[in-house]
Amino acid sequence: MQAGTALVMLTAGVLVAYGGAMEFVYFGPGTPQFVAGLVTVPTGLAASLAAARLWARGAHARREVVAGAILLGAGTAAGSGLDVMGGVATLVGAVGSLIPLLWSARARRSPEVA
């Protein structure tokens, strides 16, 4: 379960960060797209790093996973609120942040996680 969660979170983080980086290529400073790129690149990278920590450390990286999922959700909400992210990108970011949060809630109730 945690490997699948890490894979979903890693994929969503990389895709959101890549989409944000593409905003830098096509749009200049002062545009809403550039601002969305400034927000989504760090949040996508933070989510990807949290997913790598989940993969490496397992359930002991729960706090990092929650922080990365919240940041990914916030970056997705910001990009969507600026009307820069499309429907598919918003869905990828939302699913990529909700699945780790649900995993964290389930792992918290599990007796084998300290």
What average pLDDT does the segment 35-52 reach? 93
Cα(35)–Cα(49) distance, integer angstroms? 22
Predicted confidence at residue 112, as pLDDT, reads 56
How many CB atoms lie under 10 A from the CB of residue 111? 5
Task: Establish if 114 belongs to a structural domain.
Answer: no
What average pLDDT does the segment 81-90 reach? 90
Host domain of residue 89:
2-109
pLDDT at 114 over 60: no
- CA angle at 93 for the pair 108 and 37, rounded to the nearest 5°: 125
Give the total number of structural domains in the chain: 1
The whole-model pTM stands at 0.86
List phi, psi (to 5°) of 92.
-60, -45
pLDDT at 113 over 60: no
**% helix / strand / coil in the chain, to the nearest 5?**
85, 0, 15
